[in-house]
Structure 1
Amino acid sequence: MSDTRQNPTAPGTPPPPDRPAATVTTAEPEGPAAATVTRRRLLSTAGAAGAAGLALGAAGAAAYTTARRPAPVTALTTVGTDAVPFHGARQPGITTPAHARGHLVAFDLVPGAGRTEAAALLRRWSAAAEALMAGEPVNARTGAEGGTGTPATGGHDTGISLDAGPSSLTVTFGFGHSFFDRTKLTAHRPAALDPLPAFSSDRLDAARGEGDLWIQIGADDALVAFHALRTLQKEAGAAARVRWQMNGFNRSPGATDQPMTARNLMGQVDGTRNPKPADPDFDQRIFVPAKVPAGTPEWMADGSYAVVRRIRMLLDDWERLSVARQEQVIGRRKSDGAPLSGGTETTEPDLDKLGPDGKPVIPVNAHARITRPDTNGGAAMLRRPFSFHDGIDSDGTPDAGLLFICWQADPLKGFVPVQRKLDRGDALSAFIRHESSGLFAVPGGARKGEYVGQRLLES
């Protein structure tokens, strides 16, 4: 698999303290690390460390006593050096630990553009993504004599993230339902990409949903993430135009002194029950097998499906509730994410436990009860969201919430059954609004010498 850090956590060990514990996943073992930290960055880091040592020596014994306290495992100054390889059996950005900053963007091919133009575009995008994820100037990889295709912009790097390292940047590409009509590849469109059913809680804006092509960008530095967004927009050239774009964020690496599951904008611990690569059925739930099942096109081998939803949180209404009432809606304690039935965050909720009043301790319409896989026929999906805040309305209401992204081997067995059940009686539904939606087929990763989607576009 391709989501391999250059400094990966050993399998079976807790995640480093700068990552949410429940949403962090272990490194995927397939493919060599394609990116390396440049000598200049290593020397500058070493120089900074040396300067700190000189200052320490001049500060005297009192400073030395303070400095002897154990240092954090991962210092903020090391964030930029982490790199994720572009090439591999699976695309990066799926099981990669949650990023501090993200951009989601969908493109439509321009009228008259078809399969040939799409193939050239994916070549350019793949070459640019490979360079960006290695922390290299784009023109170093994508120039006329430098790799997988001449870029539409001439390969001039804007220098937006100059001086920064790769910062764990990942770029992930997907295809929407309409892409196959535009490229006359409908015979290769997977059945799992059929449009999602309508849900009663939907208040969808069609202009901010779906799209021919989808890109997910994630990084632990905001300038690195924007640099990737701007570069890929320019590399689209005359072949495609932006349909919609959304910006998101998460807790920054190093913000907590121990592994913790991230909180959403409601203040709730969010992601406790995410599937983990150590689960025996993780791969079969999240990824299309390398040997694809009957009826699934070969180009989707090692791929996955992403459901993307912009979910606005009605924060004013939510924050009027007492903490006790919020906990009843979710079914977990707000302080530590533990189920109301007792234990710690990772304790299995006891759905049969009754309180002194004879009622279930975890209410029958609590979000945590309704979303449990064992109450949904085993349906599971890997949630890897970003929070968003797009300003404050004229009445003072924040336009904020969750850019929900979930990954599964088949959305009809993952997202759809869970959302249908939530639609029928989730207590949280009164405090959220689904405002846009998209479903994208995300092919397997590009191996060395390939571009993403090549097995589809050159089939």
Structure 2
Amino acid sequence: MNGKSESNSNVGSIATGGNGESSGHGGLSRRRLLGGVGATGAAGLVLGAAGGATGYAATRPDAPTALTAVGSTQVMFHGKHQPGITTPLQACGHLVAFDLAPGTGRKEAAALMRRWSEVARRLMAGEPADGGAADGTAHDTGISLDAGPSSLTITFGFGRTFFDRTGLVDHRPQGLDPLPPFSNDRIDPKQSDGDLWVQIGADDALVAFHALRAVQKEAAGSTRLRWQMNGFNRAPGATARPMTVRNLMGQIDGTGNPKPADDDFDQRVFVPATGTDARYDWLAGGSYAVVRRIRMLLDDWEKLSVERQERVIGRRKTDGSPLSGGSETTPMDLDKAGPDGRLLIPDNAHSRISSPQKNSGAAMLRRPFSYHDGIAADGTPDTGMLFICWQADPLRGFVPVQRKLDRGDALSPFIRHESSGLFAVPGGAADGEYVGQRLLDS
């Protein structure tokens, strides 16, 4: 889907299956996927029921003694990287952007980030947002009173204009330079960009909404809502075994995502310490998120035969295997031809054009949600993907791949990019710190 590299894609770069690992959330391997990242990547560590997430539900006198594996799974807030980047895909998500209110500057922004960080830490641990009792005396809304952490993650990012409003322009990294326009863009500026961006994900819809409500309440007075989008993925345990997710076109998507075990994973996804320019030290261990609302023109797509759909993507619809043969994880053979001499993976197939082989190795970690925002008066569905990709440098990740896709991707007639944002996501907060402290306290 425009803007993704096949190294991060399956369904033609259009959607992702988490970390390139299967997104069947119920399996033990999924909940402990990030153990291979090592202690230095502890922000992504996920704990199952044996890991100690007693949760909000356990604070109630009438609560059951044990939560299910889905409810008890906890992602750690503190660590080298923020949560929600390498965390396996969750079933429910909210993306929301805010602009700082007039007269709000660096001091107020720091106070907001401090409040947001504390709320995120509490909710991700399965505790009430305000830290009070859960028996009705607290000010917490109680929306997720019966649930545990449910893999909740809350991730924060700064847009380009944040640095103007806080007087920190000298600390704005080059990676936040505006994205170039693309021919398939139909961008609504009111649904794009923003000073602050928050990504929320959870395996329970009420837990995710609870976090969204808490974030919005803490932002009241110092910000104005710019836009909000809601998404979903396959629910944990919906398949007989852990599997890569499908997008709303029905394609398996996410097979080729970079994996934490890859030798070059960190250099592709996370910003290194500069060692030379202290102005950007706040971003070390962080990442850049490109966010695009990509509408899928499903009525047109579903008129194609399955064989034609497969040639558009370059992969089998049944199992995600490349048209050149093999299984889902078999590398594509871009030179393999059939008996008639034609390339098995067409020269304009989405997976071919977005592959690292065709983009000088450019890759990104794609971690999207699907969305459905109703049906228009003419009967067409407003549905598609909330595309989110993570990279150490968008000028070497998203931009070159999207430019290549812009010049002849067979998928382009079936999708439309309707909103766009680019955000610098600080590194994780150490114990006792808030997210962005190294920038706002500099």
Is 1:282 aligned to residue 265 of structure 2? yes
Offset, 1:41: 3.5
Given that 1:167 and 1:221 are in contact with CA atoms closer than 8 Å, whether structure 2 keeps it comes out as: yes
One-letter amino acid of the counterpart of residue 87, structure 1: H
Is 1:385 aligned to residue 368 of structure 2? yes
Is 1:368 aligned to residue 376 of structure 2? no
One-letter amino acid of the counterpart of residue 26, structure 2: D
Instruction: Choose 1 or 2 for highest CA Rg.
Output: 1
Q: Classify 1:141/1:457 alpha carbon distance in 2 versus 1 (closer, same or farther; 3 Å).
A: farther
Name the CA distance, whole Å, in 2 between partners of 1:224 and 1:15. Answer: 19
- Where in structure 1 are there 5+ consecutive unaligned residues? 1-12, 49-76, 143-153
- Count of aligned pairs between the two proteins: 408
Name the CA distance, whole Å, in 2 between partners of 1:349 and 1:223. Answer: 40
Which of 242, 246, 265 is equivalent to 1:263?
A: 246
One-letter amino acid of the counterpart of residue 18, structure 1: G
Is 1:26 aligned to residue 26 of structure 2? no
Q: Which segment drifts farther, 167-176 or 285-294?
A: 285-294
Q: Classify 1:16/1:315 alpha carbon distance in 2 versus 1 (closer, same or farther; 3 Å).
A: closer
In the alignment, which residue of structure 2 is the partner of 1:122? 113
In the alignment, which residue of structure 2 is the partner of 1:65? none
Given that 1:265 and 1:387 are in contact with CA atoms closer than 8 Å, whether structure 2 keeps it comes out as: yes
Which of 29, 32, 37 is equivalent to 2:54?
A: 37
Is 1:82 aligned to residue 85 of structure 2? no
Name the CA distance, whole Å, in 2 between partners of 1:358 and 1:312. Answer: 35
Q: Classify 1:187/1:329 alpha carbon distance in 2 versus 1 (closer, same or farther; 3 Å).
A: same
Q: Classify 1:288/1:171 alpha carbon distance in 2 versus 1 (closer, same or farther; 3 Å).
A: same
Offset, 1:324: 0.3
Name the CA distance, whole Å, in 1 between partners of 2:324 and 2:378. Answer: 39
Name the CA distance, whole Å, in 1 between partners of 2:295 and 2:64. Answer: 41
Query: Cα deviations across residues 200-240 of structure 1 (Å, max 9, x unaligned)?
Result: 11000000000000000000000000000011000012100
In the alignment, which residue of structure 2 is the partner of 1:58? none
Q: Classify 1:190/1:40 alpha carbon distance in 2 versus 1 (closer, same or farther; 3 Å).
A: closer
Q: How does 1:29-428 map to 2 (within 5 A)?
A: 29-30=38-39, 31=42, 36-38=53-55, 41=58, 45-46=64-65, 77-140=68-131, 156-290=139-273, 292=275, 297-428=280-411
Offset, 1:29: 3.1
What TM-score, normalized by structure 2, do the two folds share? Answer: 0.87
Name the CA distance, whole Å, in 1 between partners of 2:370 and 2:32. Answer: 16
Q: Classify 1:358/1:444 alpha carbon distance in 2 versus 1 (closer, same or farther; 3 Å).
A: same
Aligned CA RMSD, in angstroms, stands at: 2.6
One-letter amino acid of the counterpart of residue 116, structure 1: K
Identical pairs, percent: 68
Which of 409, 419, 437 is equivalent to 2:420?
A: 437
Offset, 1:95: 0.1
Given that 1:129 and 1:171 are in contact with CA atoms closer than 8 Å, whether structure 2 keeps it comes out as: yes
Q: Classify 1:155/1:237 alpha carbon distance in 2 versus 1 (closer, same or farther; 3 Å).
A: farther
Offset, 1:19: 6.5
Offset, 1:83: 0.7
Given that 2:98 and 2:226 are in contact with CA atoms closer than 8 Å, whether structure 1 keeps it comes out as: yes
One-letter amino acid of the counterpart of residue 54, structure 2: V
Secondary structure, counterpart of 1:26 in structure 2:
helix
Query: Cα deviations across residues 23-82 of structure 1 (Å, max 9, x unaligned)?
Result: 99533433497973149649955579xxxxxxxxxxxxxxxxxxxxxxxxxxxx321101
Given that 2:24 and 2:236 are in contact with CA atoms closer than 8 Å, whether structure 1 keeps it comes out as: no
Name the CA distance, whole Å, in 2 between partners of 1:429 and 1:296. Answer: 39
Query: Which of structures 1 and 2 has the larger relative contact order (alpha carbons within 8 angstroms, sep 6+)?
Result: 2
In the alignment, which residue of structure 2 is the partner of 1:63? none
Query: Cα deviations across residues 127-174 of structure 1 (Å, max 9, x unaligned)?
Result: 1111111111112179xxxxxxxxxxx982100111100001000000
Given that 1:370 and 1:422 are in contact with CA atoms closer than 8 Å, whether structure 2 keeps it comes out as: yes
Q: Classify 1:335/1:39 alpha carbon distance in 2 versus 1 (closer, same or farther; 3 Å).
A: closer
What TM-score, normalized by structure 1, do the two folds share? Answer: 0.84
- Where in structure 2 are there 5+ consecutive unaligned residues? 1-20
One-letter amino acid of the counterpart of residue 99, structure 2: D
Name the CA distance, whole Å, in 1 between partners of 2:389 and 2:89. Answer: 12
In the alignment, which residue of structure 1 is the partner of 2:10? none
Name the CA distance, whole Å, in 2 between partners of 1:369 and 1:306. Answer: 24
